[in-house]
Amino acid sequence: MLQLPIYLDNHATTRTDPRVAEAMLPCFTEFFGNPASASHVFGREASKAVENARSSIAQSIGAADPQEIIFTSGATEADNLAVKGVAEALSDRGDHLITVQTEHPAVLNACRHLERAGFRTTCLPVDQEGHLDLEELKAAITDRTILVSVMAANSEIGTIHDIAAVGAICRERGVLFHTDATQAVGKIPFDVREIQADYASFTAHKMYGPKGVGALYIRQDAPRPVPQMDGGGQEQGLRSGTLNVPGIVGFAKALEICLQERETEERRVRALRDRLYAGLIGSLDGITLNGSADRRLPGNLNISFEHVRTDALLMSLRDLAVSGGSACATESPTPSYVLKAIGASDERAFSAVRFGVGRFNTAEEIEYAIQTVCEAVTRLRASRRQRAQGHVR
């Protein structure tokens, strides 16, 4: 039986997998101790749960040592700690950072914050598919450059960057490399050694884990960022505050499940996404794919419907939870900066819809989505034609 509404916004967040929720439950009522309370068994049990989770997460991303994982409240905090913390730590060595126009606001606004403090940032452009030009990256690196921050995969248009190539360039030029890997970890192969990352951010709630917990990977020989939070000195002094034990346990469980099921899930989700796209272009004309046709996250589909406004379309798709632009920018009436960066006109940007297919979507749901979107677009285009004719008369 088809249950409505249908959730197709898995880049904004994901449903916590029931297996994850189950793993978290004992941490609320049984192992509820503070992991910093080493003097009693409650604290030691909680600490053991956290350290098991740390080892598991470290292993999942190819880290050499569990201590390379620093728990945070999510990817936003991890991005801030990496970008601002590394810039502050190395301010005597340089004052220049490089990032990309399509990064998440957590990275872009951290860079703006640093600019107000006297740092300079270069924000590299991207091509029509959302890819950056590696030659431009090389040319932008100077002897004052401290850090390069390039995301693994874009949350809006799904474009996957060649971060292994970015990492190789950074290593060769002696510049530190941070990647916001939030949309990649658990979904596509991701290994910090392969990409030679010094820092990597990711978060549990994009991989069927709970909200409010994430991590920053810090390579063991990389410079330590300056902490952005003062307090009791938890997480090797890099992130003070009592650890979110249930969240951390759920985070590890969520990533374990992602890795166990990744290959079959990647194939299944990609097939659903491809079917959604085929179904839409099979019945509608005037569709533009935003982003890359092939180097793209398996669950991501971002398309513009000619002569249809996103807000009107979303309003008539009451049974479908999809997004226009990015979730973080839906309050603002400005066109998506990511779509503008790939050269989309305002009109194309204001007619874009992002579909995020995920673990809990079924083939039946995709067929329903195709049907309702086709009906809504056809209806909106017809009423627009009528209005235009009325206007002529």
Nearer to ligand PLP (CB atom), residue 94 or residue 356: 356
For the bound state, the minimum distance from the C-beta of residue 151 to ligand PLP, rounded and expressed in Å, comes to 6
Phi, psi (degrees; rounded to nearest 5) at 153 = -150, 140
Contact 377, 284 (CB under 8 A): yes
Q: What is the dihedral of CA 133, 136, 137, 143, to 10 degrees?
A: 170
Contact 213, 50 (CB under 8 A): no
For the bound state, the minimum distance from the C-beta of residue 370 to ligand PLP, rounded and expressed in Å, comes to 26
Helix axes 41-60, 245-283, angle to 10 degrees: 30
For the bound state, the minimum distance from the C-beta of residue 328 to ligand PLP, rounded and expressed in Å, comes to 8
Residue 81 touches ligand PLP, criterion: CB under 6 A = no
Nearer to ligand PLP (CB atom), residue 104 or residue 359: 104
Nearer to ligand PLP (CB atom), residue 47 or residue 292: 292
For the bound state, the minimum distance from the C-beta of residue 51 to ligand PLP, rounded and expressed in Å, comes to 22
Nearer to ligand PLP (CB atom), residue 121 or residue 183: 183
Residue given tokens 């090389």 in the structure block: 138
Residue 338 touches ligand PLP, criterion: CB under 6 A = no
Q: Which of 206, 219, 253, 354 binds ligand PLP (CB under 6 A)?
A: 206
DSSP-assigned beta bridge partners for residue 353: 303
For the bound state, the minimum distance from the C-beta of residue 9 to ligand PLP, rounded and expressed in Å, comes to 12
Residue 50 touches ligand PLP, criterion: CB under 6 A = no
Q: How far apart are the first and last CA of the chain?
A: 48
Q: In whole angstroms, how far apart are CA 198 and each of 84, 105, 172?
A: 14, 21, 13
75-112 burial code (b ≥16 CB/10 A, e <16) = bbbbbbbbbbbbbbbbeeebbbbbbbbbbbebbbebbe
Residue 149 touches ligand PLP, criterion: CB under 6 A = no
For the bound state, the minimum distance from the C-beta of residue 157 to ligand PLP, rounded and expressed in Å, comes to 12
User: Residue 7's closest CA among 370, 364, 355?
Assistant: 355
Residue 356 touches ligand PLP, criterion: CB under 6 A = no
Residue 58 touches ligand PLP, criterion: CB under 6 A = no
DSSP-assigned beta bridge partners for residue 121: 97
DSSP-assigned beta bridge partners for residue 203: 214
Contact 304, 287 (CB under 8 A): yes
Nearer to ligand PLP (CB atom), residue 75 or residue 344: 75
Q: Which stretch binds ligand PLP (CB under 6 A): 58-66, 72-80, 113-121, 336-344?
A: 72-80
Q: Which stretch binds ligand PLP (CB under 6 A): 177-185, 286-294, 308-316, 355-363?
A: 177-185
Please say if 170 is a catalytic residue.
no
Q: Residue 130 carries which DSSP code?
A: S
Residue 75 touches ligand PLP, criterion: CB under 6 A = yes
Query: Where in 186-205 is the site for ligand PLP (CB under 6 A)?
Result: 203, 205
Residue given tokens 């009423």 in the structure block: 383
Please, where are the H alpha helices in the chain?
Answer: 18-29, 41-60, 75-89, 105-116, 134-140, 163-173, 245-283, 310-316, 337-341, 346-349, 363-392
Q: Which of 54, 84, 96, 104 binds ligand PLP (CB under 6 A)?
A: 104
Q: Which of 155, 179, 302, 361 binds ligand PLP (CB under 6 A)?
A: 155
Helix (H) or strand (E) holding 199: strand 199-203
Q: How many binding residues for ligand PLP (CB under 6 A)?
A: 14
**Token code pair at residue 107:** 């990275």
Q: Residue 386 carries which DSSP code?
A: H
Query: Where in 240-279 is the site for ligand PLP (CB under 6 A)?
Result: none
User: For ligand PLP, which residue has the nearest CB?
Assistant: 74
Q: Which of 74, 167, 210, 358 binds ligand PLP (CB under 6 A)?
A: 74
Residue in 111, 258, 328, 374 annotated catalytic: 328
Query: Where in 105-144 is the site for ligand PLP (CB under 6 A)?
Result: 106
Residue 180 touches ligand PLP, criterion: CB under 6 A = yes
The residues of the shown chain that bind ligand PLP, judged by CB under 6 A, are 74-76, 104, 106, 151, 155, 180, 182-183, 203, 205-206, 214
Supply the residues annotated as catalytic.
328
